[in-house]
């Protein structure tokens, strides 16, 4: 059998004395608007579904996996190590250690790069990484005052003490504490920050709406064409089988123009329609050393070559990670923007994507803030998020990273490219009534994928 797809011949990025690490498979549950079909589940149920989907697709023996890592942002307190609970529930061997990581919206990127690190260090040969987010239910706490009273109540010895503690409860004690809507360090919500960012770069409302419309249209096309192969079907207990994302809704510019700004009123430009929405979903990938994968007879989808994390000022440059990270990872690999065949950028907000594109296109910005001689350069739009993005497919914070990497692999396969690049800023979703806790530092993650399929299809 000859190469099914013609690939451009470019140099390999393999480095001497560094193990080749490959993406064997990647799957995800359908991403659903929170409060819809998944609403009665728990986070580990979703993660379990993704894991079972991965098992099913790869048919990997359950005891071959050395380690399992999951990323999540809003933690369900009952399953704080959601990786472990999901793995056990998915039928993995109870001898496989698992841990959970959190790094805002790039939590599953962190899960994947941790896996890469474990394999590169020779600790493991096969690691499952994934991410899950469940926004249909978030932990809402009693107020600090109430918690304090309740904890004291535990220690109270006599009935008198207990009664006096109970008597001290006032109405103020009863007001609940929602998960912080705002960035801890700046008290600013993600949407507010995105709106300011868009304004700083002079991104208009129309530009944002157009980009959002593009995302929805491309996603719809990809969905209809059956390109979203990473989506697995999931029989939701007590409900139907879900097999499609339900947030893809191409609208019209006129419809979108009618919406009022969601964060900065009355003159803001970020609306519900040009932001990613609150999403439930989980993803999982199988990452292996090339050696092991080949030995087991797998045909890996891609090499995972390199990655970079960067962080900036959490107030004014919160969502500019891709601008800072992209040139770094390219330089590490000795590539330029034009070498890249497939770009997958996380779309937290249309305004944020447009701002990044403008920043990458500005010499002044590169010189003033990045210490570069000239601009980074922008990814060509005909290679950019062609199957939709977080704006349309949805953005379960902890799960998006794996979707991006898997999508790059699938697009390289389909489009015949060799190099793909993933960039994501750690951003929350649409936060109009969200209960999102964001991380303190704001890193962006760049994973680097090289299409590798041609090697194994012979």
What count of Cα atoms within 13 Å lies in the side-chain half-sphere of residue 4?
9
Looking at the Cβ atoms of 358 and 411, the one nearer to another protein is 358
Residues that bind another protein in the complex, under the rule CB under 8 A: 184-187, 192, 195-197, 199-202, 264, 266-267, 313, 315-317, 355, 358-359, 362, 364-365, 368-369
Beta carbon of residue 170, minimum distance to another protein (angstroms, whole number): 20
Are 74 and 138 in contact by the 8 Å Cβ rule? The answer is yes
Beta carbon of residue 334, minimum distance to another protein (angstroms, whole number): 29
Beta carbon of residue 94, minimum distance to another protein (angstroms, whole number): 41
What DSSP state is assigned to residue 125?
A: S
Closest-CA residue to 321 (of 392, 422, 212)? 422
The partner residues of 272 in beta bridges, in order of sequence, read none
Which DSSP helix (H) or strand (E) runs through 231?
A: none
Cα distance between residue 435 and residue 253, in whole Å: 29
Cα distance between residue 420 and residue 411, in whole Å: 9
Q: Which residues contact 176 (CB under 8 A, 6 or more apart)?
A: 140, 141, 142, 143
Instruction: Give me the active site residues, please.
Output: 105, 425
Beta carbon of residue 326, minimum distance to another protein (angstroms, whole number): 17
Cα distance between residue 34 and residue 283, in whole Å: 16
203: left (phi over 0), alpha (psi -120 to 50) or beta: beta
Looking at the Cβ atoms of 186 and 246, the one nearer to another protein is 186
Looking at the Cβ atoms of 1 and 267, the one nearer to another protein is 267
Looking at the Cβ atoms of 175 and 187, the one nearer to another protein is 187
Cα distance between residue 19 and residue 6, in whole Å: 26
Looking at the Cβ atoms of 177 and 316, the one nearer to another protein is 316
Cα distance between residue 192 and residue 265, in whole Å: 10
Looking at the Cβ atoms of 364 and 374, the one nearer to another protein is 364
Beta carbon of residue 185, minimum distance to another protein (angstroms, whole number): 4
Are 275 and 350 in contact by the 8 Å Cβ rule? The answer is yes
Beta carbon of residue 306, minimum distance to another protein (angstroms, whole number): 27
238: left (phi over 0), alpha (psi -120 to 50) or beta: left
């Amino acid at each position: 059998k000859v190469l099914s797809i013609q690939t451009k011949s470019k140099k390999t990025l393999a480095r001497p004395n560094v193990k080749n690490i490959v993406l064997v498979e990647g799957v995800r549950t359908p991403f659903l608007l929170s409060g819809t079909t998944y609403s009665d589940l728990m986070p580990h149920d979703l993660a379990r579904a993704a894991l079972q989907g991965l098992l099913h697709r790869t048919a990997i023996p359950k005891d071959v996996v050395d380690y399992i890592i999951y990323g999540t942002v809003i933690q369900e307190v009952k399953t704080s190590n959601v990786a472990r609970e999901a793995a056990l529930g998915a039928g993995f061997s109870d001898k496989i250690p698992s841990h959970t990581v959190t790094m805002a919206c790039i939590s599953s990127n962190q899960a994947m790069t941790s896996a890469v690190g474990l394999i590169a260090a020779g600790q493991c040969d096969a690691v499952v990484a994934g991410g899950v987010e469940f926004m249909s239910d978030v932990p809402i706490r009693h107020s600090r005052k109430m918690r304090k009273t309740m904890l004291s109540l535990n220690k109270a010895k006599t009935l008198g003490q207990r009664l006096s503690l109970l008597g001290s409860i006032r109405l103020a004690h009863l007001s609940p504490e929602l998960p912080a809507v705002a960035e801890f360090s700046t008290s600013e919500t993600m949407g507010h920050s995105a709106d300011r960012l868009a304004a700083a770069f002079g991104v208009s409302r129309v530009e944002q709406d157009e980009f959002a419309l593009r995302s929805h249209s491309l996603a719809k096309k990809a969905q209809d064409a059956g390109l979203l192969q990473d989506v697995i079907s999931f029989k939701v207990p007590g409900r139907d089988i879900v097999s499609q994302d339900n947030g893809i809704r191409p609208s019209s510019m006129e419809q979108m123009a009618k919406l009022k700004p969601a964060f900065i009123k009355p003159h803001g430009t970020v609306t519900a329609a040009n932001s990613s929405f609150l999403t439930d979903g989980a993803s999982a990938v199988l990452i292996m050393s090339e050696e092991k994968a080949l030995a087991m007879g797998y045909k890996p989808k891609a090499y995972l070559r390199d990655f970079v994390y960067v962080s900036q000022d959490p107030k004014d440059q919160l969502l500019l990670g891709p601008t800072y990270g992209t040139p770094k990872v390219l330089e590490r690999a000795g590539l330029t923007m034009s070498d890249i065949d497939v770009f997958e950028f996380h779309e937290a907000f249309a305004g944020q994507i447009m701002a990044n594109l403008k920043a990458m296109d500005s010499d002044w910005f590169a010189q003033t803030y990045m210490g570069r001689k000239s601009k980074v350069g922008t990814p060509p739009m005909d290679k950019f998020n062609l199957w939709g993005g977080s704006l349309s497919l949805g953005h379960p914070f902890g799960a998006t990273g794996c979707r991006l990497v898997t999508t790059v692999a699938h697009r390289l396969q389909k489009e015949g490219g060799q190099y793909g690049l993933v960039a994501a800023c750690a951003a929350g979703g649409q936060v109009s009534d969200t209960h999102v806790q964001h991380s303190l530092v704001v890193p962006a993650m760049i994973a680097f994928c090289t299409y590798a399929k041609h090697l194994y299809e012979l």
